[in-house]
C-alpha cells in the first residue's frame, strides 16, 4: 500500500501539489486524472522518490521512500518523456535494470519483446514514440516490482497495443502482487481498466473513490418538464449541470438514483430516464463545480 500524507511540493513560487492525502491499495489499478497542471506528474515523481516533498510524507508498505534504495526497488516509474542511454539497445537497458532490480526476468523480457516485435539488438533511438513506450512498459513489467507508476503510458500506442498492454497488466495482477498507478488525460482508456480513481485539480485531490461507487453516486437525467422549474429543481436536487432545450432538461445530479427519480416524480414529468455517465463526463462535471468550465475557456 502507498500512503500519501499531507504532501506539498513547490517549484519557486509555483505550488505543484498542495496537502495531498491519498491511499493506493495493493492489488488495485489506480487511475490519476486531472486538469492540466494539476500535479499528476509531480506526485508520481515524489512517489518514486525522484522529488522530495516540501511537506508531508510518502510511505510504501509503511516505509518512507525518500533516500531509501531498498524501498525504491519496489517501484518502477515510466515518465511521459522516456529516457534511454545514448546508442543503447533494449538489451543494454535490460542489462542495466538487472543490476538495479535483482528480480528482473530476462527470459520474460526476451519473450515479450518478441511478442511485441521489438528488436532487442536495435538502437532505441531509431524506435518510434510508440515503440519506446512499449519498451518502457516491458522493462517495467520484467523488473517484477509490486508498484508500477505510469505517466501517460497509453499516449502514442495504437489501439491494438493499448489493449495488449492492458491484458499484460491483468495477467501480472493475476499471478503476483502488482499495483499499477496510471496517470492519464485519456479518460476512456482508464475506464475499462481502473477500479479506483483519484481526481486532481490545482495541486489538490478533489475526490478519491472506487470507480463503481463514483458512478453510482452521480447520474445523468433526461426529463420533459414544464418551463420555469429550474430554480425548484436546484433547490431540491444537488445539480452539477443543467441544460434545457425546450421542455427537455438534461441534468447531471449527485445522489442515489432512486431518491433522485422519486423527487423528480413530484413534478409529473411527461418522460424521465437515467442515462449512464462516462468517466469523462464525471470529470467534466466535478471540475466545473470548482470553476474549471469550458465556457470560461472559450471566448
pTM, full prediction: 0.81
Q: Is the pLDDT of residue 256 over 70?
A: yes
Q: Is the pLDDT of residue 148 over 60?
A: yes
Predicted pLDDT at 293: 47
Where do the H-state alpha helices sit in the chain?
40-47, 69-72, 90-100, 106-115, 129-142, 159-175, 187-191, 211-216, 230-236, 257-265, 279-289, 294-297
Predicted pLDDT at 152: 86
The C-alpha cell that represents 115 in the structure block = 511478442
Predicted pLDDT at 146: 95
Q: Is the pLDDT of residue 298 over 50?
A: no
The listed range with the strongest mean pLDDT (12-16, 46-50, 194-198, 226-230) is 46-50
Place of cell 421542455: 247
The 10s digit of each residue's pLDDT in 24-82 is: 998 889 998 877 788 899 999 999 999 999 999 999 999 998 888 899 999 999 998 88
Predicted pLDDT at 288: 65
Q: Is the pLDDT of residue 296 over 80?
A: no
Q: Is the pLDDT of residue 102 over 60?
A: yes
Residue, of 26 and 296, whose pLDDT is higher: 26
Strands 55-60 and 204-210: unpaired
User: pLDDT averaged over the chain?
Assistant: 87
Predicted pLDDT at 294: 40
Whole-angstrom CA distances from 23 to 59, 83, 189 are: 10, 28, 22
3-class secondary structure, 108: helix
3-class secondary structure, 171: helix
Place of cell 503476483: 176
Amino acid at each position: 500500500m502507498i500512503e500519501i500524507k499531507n504532501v506539498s511540493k513547490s517549484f519557486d513560487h509555483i505550488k505543484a501539489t498542495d496537502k495531498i492525502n491519498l491511499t493506493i491499495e495493493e492489488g488495485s489499478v489506480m487511475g490519476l486524472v486531472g486538469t492540466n497542471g494539476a500535479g499528476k506528474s509531480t506526485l508520481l515523481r515524489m512517489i518514486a522518490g525522484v522529488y522530495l516533498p516540501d511537506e508531508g510524507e510518502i510511505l510504501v508498505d509503511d516505509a518512507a521512500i525518500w533516500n531509501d534504495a531498498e524501498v525504491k526497488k519496489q517501484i518502477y516509474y515510466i515518465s511521459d518523456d522516456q529516457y534511454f542511454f545514448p546508442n543503447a539497445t533494449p538489451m543494454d537497458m535490460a542489462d542495466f535494470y538487472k543490476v538495479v532490480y535483482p528480480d528482473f526476468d530476462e527470459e520474460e523480457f526476451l519473450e515479450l519483446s518478441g511478442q511485441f516485435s521489438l528488436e532487442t539488438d536495435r538502437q532505441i533511438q531509431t524506435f518510434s514514440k510508440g515503440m519506446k513506450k512499449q519498451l518502457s512498459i516491458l522493462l517495467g513489467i520484467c523488473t517484477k516490482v509490486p508498484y508500477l507508476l505510469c505517466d501517460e503510458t497509453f499516449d502514442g500506442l495504437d489501439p491494438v497495443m493499448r489493449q495488449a498492454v492492458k491484458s499484460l497488466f491483468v495477467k501480472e495482477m493475476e499471478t503476483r502482487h502488482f499495483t499499477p498507478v496510471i496517470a492519464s488525460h485519456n479518460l476512456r482508456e482508464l475506464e475499462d481498466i481502473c477500479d479506483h480513481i483519484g481526481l486532481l485539480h490545482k495541486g489538490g485531490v478533489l475526490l478519491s473513490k472506487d470507480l463503481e461507487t463514483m458512478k453510482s453516486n452521480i447520474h445523468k437525467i433526461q426529463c420533459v418538464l414544464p418551463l420555469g422549474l429550474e430554480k425548484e429543481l436546484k433547490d431540491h436536487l444537488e445539480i452539477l449541470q443543467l441544460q434545457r432545450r425546450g421542455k427537455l432538461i438534461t441534468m447531471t445530479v449527485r445522489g442515489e438514483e432512486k431518491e433522485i427519480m422519486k423527487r423528480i416524480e413530484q413534478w409529473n414529468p411527461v418522460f424521465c430516464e437515467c442515462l449512464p455517465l462516462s468517466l469523462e463526463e464525471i470529470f467534466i462535471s466535478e471540475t466545473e463545480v470548482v470553476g474549471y468550465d469550458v465556457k470560461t475557456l472559450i471566448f
